[in-house]
Amino acid sequence: MTACIKHTNTDFLKMARECENNNNNTDMAKFYTMAVNNGNIIAMCKLGYYYQGLNDIPNMLKYYNIAIDNNSGLAMCLLGNYYLQKKQYHQMIVYYKMALDNEYYNAYINIGNYYKSINNKKMMVKYYHMATAKNIPSGMYLLGQYYFSTNNFTLMKKYLTMAVEYNNVDAMIELGDFYQYYEINQELMFKYYNMAIKNNSSEAFIKIGDYYGKNYDIASMKKYYNLAIERNNFAGYIKLGEYFQFYANNKKAMIENYYKAFKNGHKVAILKLVNYFYENGENMNVCKYINYMIENNIYLQINKEILIMFLMNTSIDHDKLYNFIKHINNKKYIADKDNIEEDFTECEINITEFKDLVIGNNKIKDSCPVCLEDDLTLYHTTCDKHYVCIKCMVHLLYDPCPICRY
């Protein structure tokens, strides 16, 4: 008789993470659910976040709320983040404050990041300092970043060094970069990069590769990029592709490395190929890769001149091209910072809600108000109120609406 193996929550989490790493979301959700049934709070948060990514809001709320019922500050912050994304600021504040009341002080970081998004630096720094006072390493790191941006290198070093003492890898990388590019000190540069490597950072291998490339030690440069790749940091392929493109002039090796980068999740590699082929007059290849981007919903900002050339040399369905343009030309709206109270102690505040400006259908049949050609299919411009033909839309890429300038 075969003995029944009883799995622990640790087993379920491990199996779920292995499935996640292999993009096996079905089994990942199954194992996280098993862990949830055993009362594991991390699995509750993971499942909530997974369903959020699927836009399955009922299941997202179900698992976040189960975790919150178990006093999970992480789940409170994740739900606060969701309401921030939806511009429901009242709810955002409720859940961030709830996390703080449960002594989940990483919520200070979330609040600081919110203020950063609306360019309120005073309040951003305030909340990063509050996180730092609670020994949250990311607060120290973010303060270091802020003081670097203000050229206050003394305070930058102070807070990054504090973060390093808590084994914050980002701070180690930041200090390594500082001593590589600003206050040149090879000894300190290697010190911090190697500290990051000891803390399992593959990014540090990329940084050291950059250093050797800058100093024309090509063998060492390739060595460190490949060490990064061996640790599943496939940005190493991007770096090698750039080397073969700009320095070694090896087209075959360039394409090979960019292709490997793309296949391993670095979508920007396909844009590098588009730009390369355009600069070298290989318009058929340009059209081939842009068609691939459009058909596979890869939304990366393409140079306007390249897209104009593509339009003149392709017979792609205009609806698909319009959808692509709308995504790469998407405007991002932020709340009016004056509507947010500063101390986050009151939740009954008046938030201006941003409404979608979608009027009617995305397209109509009419004459184009820009080129004046008759009987064309017209599409919404960036303002979502006015219409132009697809050719004019491509020519106006990244520009405001030609009619209302919005």
pLDDT of residue 143: 98
Categorize the per-residue pLDDT at 340 as very low, low, confident or very high, splitting at 50, 70 and 90: very low
Is the Cβ–Cβ distance between 366 and 356 less than 8 Å? Answer: no
Residue listed under structure tokens 């600081």: 112
Categorize the per-residue pLDDT at 215 as very low, low, confident or very high, splitting at 50, 70 and 90: very high
pLDDT of residue 102: 93
Is the Cβ–Cβ distance between 266 and 249 less than 8 Å? Answer: no
Residue 363 token pair = 């397209």
Residue 341 in this model has a pLDDT that exceeds 60: no
- Non-local (6+) Cβ contacts of 325 within 8 A are 307, 393, 394, 397
Residue 271 in this model has a pLDDT that exceeds 70: yes
pLDDT of residue 25: 77
pLDDT of residue 8: 66
Nearest alpha-carbon partner for 134 in 99, 169, 93: 99
pTM: 0.76
Nearest alpha-carbon partner for 394 in 302, 307, 291, 320: 307
pLDDT of residue 347: 36
Categorize the per-residue pLDDT at 7 as very low, low, confident or very high, splitting at 50, 70 and 90: low
Categorize the per-residue pLDDT at 5 as very low, low, confident or very high, splitting at 50, 70 and 90: very low
- All structural domains of the chain, each given as residue ranges with its CATH number in brackets, are 1-104 (1.25.40.10), 354-406 (no CATH)
pLDDT of residue 357: 29
Tens of pLDDT, residue by residue over 312-335, are 887 777 778 777 877 777 643 333
Mean pLDDT (whole number) for 350-376: 53
Residue 307 in this model has a pLDDT that exceeds 80: yes
124 to 2, 10, 83, 96, 170: CA distances (angstroms): 59, 37, 19, 15, 19
- Residue 159, sorted as left (phi over 0), alpha (psi -120 to 50) or beta, turns out to be alpha
Mean pLDDT (whole number) for 364-368: 70
Span of 30-39, 136-145, 156-165, 318-327 with lowest mean pLDDT? 318-327
Span of 12-16, 81-85, 291-295 with lowest mean pLDDT? 12-16
Residue listed under structure tokens 């096996």: 24
Report percent pLDDT > 70 for the chain: 84
Tens of pLDDT, residue by residue over 84-134, are 999 999 999 999 999 999 999 999 999 999 999 999 999 999 999 999 999
Mean pLDDT (whole number) for 227-254: 96
Residue 184 in this model has a pLDDT that exceeds 50: yes
pLDDT of residue 382: 64
pLDDT of residue 65: 95
- Non-local (6+) Cβ contacts of 86 within 8 A are none
Long-range contacts of 29-34 (CB under 8 A, 24+ apart): 34/7
pLDDT of residue 328: 76
Count, residues in the chain:
406
pLDDT of residue 323: 78
Residue 129, class by beta-carbon neighbours within 10 Å (0-12 exposed, 13-18 middle, 19+ buried)?
A: middle
pLDDT of residue 150: 96
User: Helix/strand/coil (H, E, C) string of the chain?
Assistant: CCCCCCCCHHHHHHHHHHHHHCCCHHHHHHHHHHHHHCCCHHHHHHHHHHHHHCCCHHHHHHHHHHHHHCCCHHHHHHHHHHHHHCCCHHHHHHHHHHHHHCCCCCHHHHHHHHHHHCCCHHHHHHHHHHHHHCCCHHHHHHHHHHHHHCCCHHHHHHHHHHHHHCCCHHHHHHHHHHHHHCCCCHHHHHHHHHHHHHCCCCHHHHHHHHHHHHCCCHHHHHHHHHHHHHCCCCHHHHHHHHHHHHCCCCHHHHHHHHHHHHHCCCCHHHHHHHHHHHHCCCHHHHHHHHHHHHHCCCCCCCCHHHHHHHHHCCCCCHHHHHHHHHHHCCCCCCCCHHHCCCCCCCCCCCCCCCCCCCCCCCEEEECCCCCCCCCEEEEECCCCCCEEEHHHHHHCCCCCCCCCCC
Question: What gap in Å lies between CA 116 and CA 147, rounded to an integer?
Answer: 14
Question: What gap in Å lies between CA 63 and CA 66, rounded to an integer?
Answer: 5
Span of 100-114, 153-167, 259-273, 296-310 with lowest mean pLDDT? 296-310
Tens of pLDDT, residue by residue over 216-239, are 999 999 999 999 999 999 999 999
- Non-local (6+) Cβ contacts of 96 within 8 A are 76, 77, 80, 107, 110, 111, 344
Is the Cβ–Cβ distance between 32 and 43 less than 8 Å? Answer: yes
Residue 2, class by beta-carbon neighbours within 10 Å (0-12 exposed, 13-18 middle, 19+ buried)?
A: exposed
pLDDT of residue 348: 35
pLDDT of residue 392: 76
Question: What gap in Å lies between CA 380 and CA 377, rounded to an integer?
Answer: 10
Categorize the per-residue pLDDT at 406 as very low, low, confident or very high, splitting at 50, 70 and 90: low
Residue 9 token pair = 């929550």
pLDDT of residue 352: 33
Mean pLDDT (whole number) for 172-188: 97
Mean pLDDT of the chain: 84
Categorize the per-residue pLDDT at 379 as very low, low, confident or very high, splitting at 50, 70 and 90: low
